[in-house]
Structure formats: C-alpha cells, structure tokens
Amino acid sequence: MSETRLRWGFGALSVFLLLTVMLVASSSNPAGGQEQRLAVKPQREPIRVGGNVQESKLVHRVEPVYPPEATAARVSGVVILQVTVNEAGDVSAARVLRGHPLLDGAALEAVRQWRYSPTLLNGEPVPVIASVSIAFQPGLRLAIDELGNVQEPSAGAQDGDVTRKLNEANGVVFISPHPRVPFRVLEESLRALQKAGAKELRFTGPYTFREGRLYYTVQAPEIQAPELALETERLAAVAKNSGRVESIPFAGDGRRVLLYQLFVNEVGEIAGLQQVRGPQIPELEAELLRTRAISPGRRGLEPVPVAVLVEIPVN
C-alpha cells in the first residue's frame, strides 16, 4: 500500500512540474512565438551597387591582421571580396572573388566587422551587394598595451628596434591598441610614434589620428556623436553654385552626395575636416569649418574629441 502511494505521489509531482513549465513558457511568449517572428525584419533581395559607391558609405573599417605565414613568405597583394550589407549597414555575408590562400581568411575576418551607413531606396533602407578590395601592404604591425608601451607582437621589439623598422616600413603603421589603454596615454604614444617616423597610422579600433590629435569615431557603442547645427540645404546650395555638380559622384540611391569627415574637439570646436568623397569645393569646406557645434561628443558624461561623417546630398 505504501509503495502504491509513493508511486502515485511521484506521478502527481511529475504532472505538477510539467504543467508549471508549460505555464511559464506560455506566459513568457503568450503568442506562441508570434512576437519573435514579428521582430524579424522581412528579407529583401539585395540591390547591386558599385564598389566606389559603397566605399563612400563605409563608417567603420577594421584593418586585417597580416597572417604570420604570409609575412614569413613575403606574400602581399589585394584580396577582392563580394559583401552583402543589410539594412542596418552590417556585413551579413562575404566571400572571396580573387585573392591568395594565405591572405583570404584574414580579409574575410576583417571585412565582416565593417559597418556602413544604410543605403536608402525611396527613403527606405535596403540591403546591397558590392565588391570591396583589401590591400595587404608591407608595413609595421604594432600593439600598444594598457600602459601605453609600444610593442611589435611578432618580435617583441624594443623602442630602438621599432624606430629602425619604421624607416624600413616607409612610415606605414598598423596599430592595435589595448581596449583598456587610457585615451590620453594612447594619444601620447601615437605622438611619439609620429615623432619617430610614422607617417600613416591605421587602427584596429574606434580611433583616427589627425595632426597630432586622437579622435574617437562614433562606431564605439559608448561614444555619443557631437550635435552639429548643419544647414544642409544651404551647404547643398553652395555646392551647386560652385559649378562642380557634374563631378559629384552618385550614391547608391541615385543622388549626388558629398561626404566629409569633421573633427570635433572636446570643447565643441571644428578642428578640421577631411574630404572623403567628391571634388574639392573650397567655399563649401570653409562653410563646414564654420559649423556650430551645439554640444561636443561624449563618452558617458565626459566630453571627448570625435570624428563624425557628414553627408551633403546635392540633388
């Protein structure tokens, strides 16, 4: 009798636990999975755009890590890839069209981390397919640790060796900063490298360096872009009156678009600009340099220097 009651007790407990699990599952997703399906954006057929057009929309570029085997074999060259960029501007797929077996993997790993500004068609973001190129050039690969020490990962070179190798690399340097290196410490290390002969600095991470100053790029999730009082229509009118409209390239949505990078310091001043896409229009650049910053960029509550991309559609 006691054995029968024991079995009945276990059976009832099992049924109770099963019903409890089903109740919790249904309450967490009351529509039986409908909520999850609705959150998935409908798939669209990607449109094909030119490589130059898509390159102009690149807002976050990760440089490839030169494979040690390729370095040892003295292999260099260009890897050409086809990328699919989704509506949000993320690379959702990539494949190699032409390259080298020792370089292809590093190119794929880098390009999958790239981000683009979304391509619009009739005002709606659309996925696109484009061809991109990644050049593997000879250059010096350096890491900067969290204390600001400069090291060559492949050889553990000391500062004297780095200075010599900067000359051998013609001043081209690929920088991998430690995620926890303080901003000002990193900036001082970069100035020292520049003084030692570095002419062109390329980064793995959300940074850019210009005229001795380090800037965040807005791709870092903790960085808030500066708020600028851009008068886009007036700037477009200046571009039209310059007589250079026909030389302004088309974007993927059929508009002629100029693209500039503005360097905004921590007090909200426009410290400089760099032309990214389109012809030089001195009068337009002068107007951009006079742009008023309503507020500087921020990292949390701290004002920080930020480089921001500005698009000026001309028609």
Q: Helix or strand or coil: residue 282?
A: helix
Question: What would the pLDDT profile of 216-264 be if each residue is shown by its tens digit?
Answer: 987 677 889 999 999 999 999 999 999 888 888 877 667 888 989 999 9
pLDDT at 160: 52
pLDDT at 179: 87
pLDDT at 13: 45
pLDDT at 81: 94
pLDDT at 218: 74
pLDDT at 252: 63
- Regarding pTM above 0.75, the answer is no
Helix axes 232-241, 282-289, angle to 10 degrees: 160
pLDDT at 76: 81
pLDDT at 53: 61
pLDDT at 147: 94
Through-space distance between the first and last CA atoms of the chain, rounded to whole angstroms: 89
pLDDT tens by residue, the chain, 315 residues:
444 444 444 444 444 444 444 443 434 343 333 333 222 243 678 888 875 666 667 878 887 888 878 877 778 889 999 999 998 889 999 999 999 989 999 999 999 999 888 888 888 888 999 999 988 877 788 889 999 998 876 654 444 567 777 777 677 888 889 989 999 999 999 999 999 888 888 887 789 999 999 999 876 778 899 999 999 999 999 999 998 888 888 776 678 889 899 999 999 999 999 988 889 999 999 999 999 999 999 998 999 999 998 989 987
d(CA 288, CA 247): 19
